[in-house]
Amino acid sequence: MFHIAVLPGDGIGPEITREAVKVLKAVGEKRQLELGFSHHLIGGASIDAQGVALSDDLVDTCRRSDAILFGAVGGPKWDHLDLPDRADYALIRLRQELSAYANLRQFRLYAGLEDASAVKNDIVETGIDFIILRELSSGAYYGRPKFREDTPRGRRAVDTIEYYDYQVERLARHGFELARQRRARLTSMSKWNALESSRLWRDVVEEVAQEYPDVDTRHEIVDAGAMNLIQRPAEYDVIIMPNMFGDILGDEAAVLAGSIGMVPSAEISLDGPSLYEPIHGSANDIEDRNVANPIGTILSAALLLRYSLGCPDGAGDIERAVGKVIAEGYRTADIWTSGDQQRVSTTEMGDLVVEML
Ligand code: NAD
């Protein structure tokens, strides 16, 4: 029996996780997987009920689970609070408690969604199916020293980009293993022409690459990579990046996928359960209207099956079912582009995916 901790959170979080759980239950039946679910409050919902955004009990429950399915946290009601009381801080702290060291985002443009993508049809039609694996534990956001000071020359601010070889190595190894399960191509993006930390990054990736001669390894300077990613997205399979570059390019790449509501992600833990969530936030502007796109969360559930429960077949079932629903012309509002497509609600989209399964 696998135990999945479900944390719906705020805004559209409860609506979209409900659909993903529905789909997971259907796959569980089809693939004879025993799945147990427990639902817990987090973020603003938890502040309202028990005064804290993330309770210690919930951290324990998450640690004891096999995987975590997360919706989104935050909203205008709580965004004015100061850290660490803010609703969205719950996710930041939970990532730290679980020792998340990598963030994985899977970008795929499903056939039929070309018009929803912000990029020209002749580019996206070449096929978009890649993963960005971002280092999450170090880099520019955590390096020390980090401070501001007043000096005779004016106000000064310092951030530090820091990497140890072992941090790069474990991320690179993860990237190569992913590439082996996919199309065996790995692109490492960094800024080795200007940054010492990127020169170490490149050296370590090159060392690990020796163990994966079957994987086609490339190095790109991140600024050129940012352009290529939009101009020639079909060239990429697995892309690995330091923390800050992955943060930026991970959002850039979302425009390729048709909607922010289509992109699944995983926060991979060093020694505990991983957390799966759509990349968007709690979308309070469309909360409780049954119009949110649940596919990013449903596809996050597919990643959960593939990477945490060892069930790639179940993950493939979900991804194919989503592909069929899109191919047959069903669209939530965010990906609806023309009158010959059928506009469906959040719950109808979840039902359709279950039907296709
Ligand atoms: P957002 O991602 O919630 O929404 C941005 C825009 O995309 C909105 O117009 C929204 O309606 C739309 N959108 C997002 N997801 C959608 C979906 N599944 N279907 C259809 N449309 C969708 O970002 P925001 O508006 O800047 O933030 C809202 C709240 O979410 C804030 O409180 C923020 O702190 C929080 N937030 C949480 C997370 C998280 O929990 N991981 C991430 C980002 C933002």
Q: Per residue in 117-170, pLDDT tens?
A: 888 888 888 889 999 999 999 999 889 999 999 999 999 999 999 999 999 999
Identify the pLDDT of residue 121. 84
The alpha carbon of 264 and the centre of ligand 1 are apart by a number of angstroms equal to 14
What number does the ligand 1 atom closest to the CA of 292 have?
19
pLDDT single digits (tens) 314-337? 999 999 999 999 999 999 999 999
Q: Are 97 and 202 a contacting pair, CB within 8 Å?
A: no
Identify the pLDDT of residue 87. 82
The alpha carbon of 86 and the centre of ligand 1 are apart by a number of angstroms equal to 16
- Does residue 21's CB lie within 6 angstroms of at least one atom of ligand 1? no
Identify the pLDDT of residue 268. 96
Average pLDDT, the chain: 95
- Does residue 186's CB lie within 6 angstroms of at least one atom of ligand 1? no
Q: Are 69 and 6 a contacting pair, CB within 8 Å?
A: yes
- Does residue 167's CB lie within 6 angstroms of at least one atom of ligand 1? no
Collapsing DSSP to helix, strand or coil, 266 comes out as strand
Identify the pLDDT of residue 349. 98
Longest dimension (CA), the chain: 69
* Contact residues for 80 (Cβ-Cβ < 8 A; gap 6+): none
The band of 27, judged by pLDDT with boundaries at 50, 70 and 90, is very high
- Does residue 205's CB lie within 6 angstroms of at least one atom of ligand 1? no
Distance CA(10)–CA(335), nearest Å, equals 22
pLDDT single digits (tens) 249-267? 999 999 898 899 999 999 9
- Does residue 72's CB lie within 6 angstroms of at least one atom of ligand 1? yes
Q: Catalytic positions, please?
A: 141, 191, 223, 247, 251
The alpha carbon of 282 and the centre of ligand 1 are apart by a number of angstroms equal to 4
What number does the ligand 1 atom closest to the CA of 73 have?
40
Domains of the chain by range and CATH? 1-110+260-357 (3.40.718.10), 118-257 (3.40.718.10)
Identify the pLDDT of residue 160. 96
Distance CA(118)–CA(128), nearest Å, equals 13
The band of 79, judged by pLDDT with boundaries at 50, 70 and 90, is confident
The alpha carbon of 63 and the centre of ligand 1 are apart by a number of angstroms equal to 26
Identify the pLDDT of residue 281. 95
In this structure, the number of other CB atoms found within 10 A of the CB of residue 196 comes to 10
**pLDDT over 70 percentage in the chain:** 100
